[in-house]
Amino acid sequence: MLLTRRALCVVTVLHCCAGFVPGPARLLRHSVCWSATESVDEAPVFGGLQHAGVLCSNTEASLAFYTEVLGFQDETELRPNLPFKGAFVRAGGQQIHLMELENPDPVDGRPEHGGRDRHLAFTIRSLAPLEAALKRHGRTYTRSKSGRAAIFTRDPDGNAFEFLEADV
């Protein structure tokens, strides 16, 4: 069966997005496809980072860290039925997919300061509430070495995060 680019796109969206967003909003929220007039020679147009996948060894402990310490919103109800444990959390417009899978990377020998390691960075209106929450929960953190208004911390599995103070 020969499909046009538009038909192939609709089939792909229906297949890939089923279960991510309930109801008819599924196609409106997740459909990204070529129009019939777009040229394949044009540069791709990106909308931003939709989500980041983060490996964890214990979904419940990680979910507690992201929601209770960092204050992210639990969106696990949007997670499709996958063959491994996990959860979805949201911070502003970005979503993090927590995936309880074997970590292929070494966790020992990582630098204490997350700015010298791969990390995800989020903007935050004020660092004060975050700093208070990290202290209250006994979590370690470092300030930016450059003097910027930023805090680096790690989740229970050692994944590094940067929080930059900005107008949000």
What does 113-160 look like in DSSP terms, one character per residue? SGGGS-EEEEEES-HHHHHHHHHHTT--EEE-TTSSSEEEEE-TT--E
Task: Supply the range of the domain harboring residue 22.
Answer: 1-33
Residue 39 falls inside a structural domain: no
Q: How many domains does the chain have?
A: 3
Residue 25 falls inside a structural domain: yes
Residue 43 falls inside a structural domain: no
Residue 38 falls inside a structural domain: no
Pair (25, 66) in one structural domain: no
- Distance of alpha carbon 13 from alpha carbon 91, whole angstroms: 25
Rg over alpha carbons for the chain, rounded to the nearest Å, is 19
Contact between residue 111 and residue 117 where contact means Cβ atoms under 8 Å apart: yes
What's the CATH number where 146 sits? 3.10.180.10
80 three-class SS = coil
Backbone φ and ψ for 24, nearest 5 degrees, come out as -70, -15
DSSP letter at 69 equals I
pLDDT in the model for residue 38: 59
- Distance of alpha carbon 9 from alpha carbon 135, whole angstroms: 48
Residue 40 falls inside a structural domain: no
Pair (119, 93) in one structural domain: no
- Chunked mean pLDDT (size 10), the chain, 168 residues: 41 37 39 57 88 96 98 98 97 95 82 85 96 97 93 94 94
Residue 106 falls inside a structural domain: no
Looking only at Cα atoms, what is the longest distance across the chain?
60
The continuous run of DSSP H or E covering 26 comes out as helix 25-30
CA distances from 24 to 103, 113, 158 (A): 36, 44, 38
Query: What's the pTM?
Result: 0.72
Residue 105 falls inside a structural domain: no
Contact between residue 130 and residue 124 where contact means Cβ atoms under 8 Å apart: yes
Pull the structure tokens for residue 124: 């935050």
Pair (15, 56) in one structural domain: no
Residue 42 falls inside a structural domain: no
